[in-house]
Amino acid sequence: MRTVLDFEKPIAELDANIEALKRITAEQGIDKSEEIAALERDRERLLREIFRKLTPWDRTLLARHPQRPYTLDYIRVIFDDFVELHGDRQFGDDGAVIGGMAWLNEKPVMVIGQQKGRDLKERQRRNFGMAKPEGYRKALRLMYLAEKFGRPVITFVDTPAADPGVESESRGISEAIARNLREMMMLKVPIVSVVIGEGGSGGALGIAVADRVLMQEYAIYSVIPPEGCAAILWRDPKRAPEAAEALKLTAQDALRFGVVDEVVAEPLGGAHRDPLAAAQMVKEALLKHLPPLQKLSVGKLRESRYERYRNLGVWTVAAE
Amino acid sequence: MQRGWFARHRRSEELNLDEMNDAWVKCNGCQQILFARDFERNLKVCPRCGHHHRLSARERIALLADEETFVERDAEVVSADPLGFPEYVDKLNRGKANSGLPEAIISGTCTLSGIPIVLAVQDFAFMGGSMGSAVGEKVVRAMEYALEQRLPIVICSTSGGARMQEGLLSLMQMAKTCAAAAKLHEAGVPYISVLTDPTMAGVLASYASVGDVVIAEPGALIGFAGQRVAQQAQVIKPPPNFQTAEFQLEHGMVDIVVPRKELKHTLSRVLRFFTGG
Ligand SMILES: [Zn+2]
Domains and CATH numbers, chain B: 55-275 (3.90.226.10)
**Residue A88 sits in the same domain as residue A106:** yes
**Residue A48 sits in the same domain as residue A162:** no
**Residue A170 sits in the same domain as residue A278:** yes
**Residue A49 sits in the same domain as residue A82:** no
**Residue A34 sits in the same domain as residue A146:** no
Confidence label for B8 from pLDDT (cuts 50, 70 and 90): very low
Q: Which amino acid is at B172?
A: M
Residue A259 placed within a domain: yes
Residue A315 placed within a domain: no
Asked whether residue B111 carries a pLDDT value surpassing 90, the answer given is yes
Please choose, from the candidates A220, A143, A223, the residue with its C-alpha nearest in 3D space to the C-alpha of residue A182.
Answer: A143
**Residue A23 sits in the same domain as residue A151:** no
Residue A196 placed within a domain: yes
User: DSSP characters for chain B?
Assistant: --HHHHHHHHHHTT--GGGGGGGEEE-TTT--EEEHHHHHHTTTB-TTT--BPPPPHHHHHHHHSPTT--EEE-TTEEE--TT--TTHHHHHHHHHHHHSSSSSEEEEEEEETTEEEEEEEE-TTTGGG-B-HHHHHHHHHHHHHHHHHT--EEEEEEESSB-GGGHHHHHHHHHHHHHHHHHHHHHT--EEEEEEEEEEHHHHTTGGG--SEEEE-TT-BEESS-HHHHHHH-SSPPPTTTTBHHHHHHTTS-SEE--HHHHHHHHHHHHHHHH--
Confidence label for B14 from pLDDT (cuts 50, 70 and 90): very low
| Candidate from B175, B185, B238 with C-beta closest to A205 | B175
Give me the CATH number covering residue A275. 3.90.226.10
Q: A10 lies in which domain range? A: 6-53
Residue A319 placed within a domain: no
3-state helix, strand, coil in chain A (%, to 5): 55, 15, 30
Q: How far is A206 from chain B (nearest CA, A)?
A: 9
Confidence label for B65 from pLDDT (cuts 50, 70 and 90): very high
Q: Number of A:B CB contacts under 8 A?
A: 198
Last residue of a domain, one of A53, A70, A86: A53
DSSP A128: G
**Residue A169 sits in the same domain as residue A201:** yes
Q: How many folded domains does chain A comprise?
A: 2
Residue A238 placed within a domain: yes
Last residue of a domain, one of A31, A53, A75: A53
**Residue A37 sits in the same domain as residue A110:** no
**Residue A275 sits in the same domain as residue A208:** yes
Select from B171, B210, B234 the residue whose CB has the most chain A CBs within 10 Å, as the one to mutate to test that interface: B171
Residue A272 placed within a domain: yes
**Residue A158 sits in the same domain as residue A20:** no
Confidence label for B165 from pLDDT (cuts 50, 70 and 90): very high
Residue A138 placed within a domain: yes
Identify the closest residue of chain B to A242 by CA–CA distance: B86
Residue A320 placed within a domain: no
The pLDDT tens digits for A118-144 are 999 999 999 999 999 999 999 999 999
Identify the closest residue of chain B to A174 by CA–CA distance: B205
Q: Which residues surround ligand 1, an ion (CB under 5 A)?
A: B 27, 29-30, 46, 48-49, 51
Window B:144-203, CB contacts with A under 8 Å: 162, 164, 166-176, 178-183, 185-186, 201-202
The pLDDT tens digits for B168-203 are 999 999 999 999 999 999 999 999 999 999 999 999
Q: Is B162 exposed, middle or buried (0-12, 13-18, 19+ CB in 10 A)?
A: buried
Q: Given this model, what pLDDT does residue A2 score?
A: 80
**Residue A123 sits in the same domain as residue A170:** yes
ipTM of the complex: 0.96
Which residues on A lie below 8 Å from B238 (Cβ)? 166
CA atoms within 13 A of residue A287's CA, in its CB half-sphere: 13
Q: A165–B230: do the CB atoms touch at under 8 Å? A: yes
Please choose, from the candidates B34, B56, B135, the residue with its C-alpha nearest in 3D space to the C-alpha of residue A314.
Answer: B135
Last residue of a domain, one of A19, A37, A53: A53
**Residue A255 sits in the same domain as residue A284:** yes
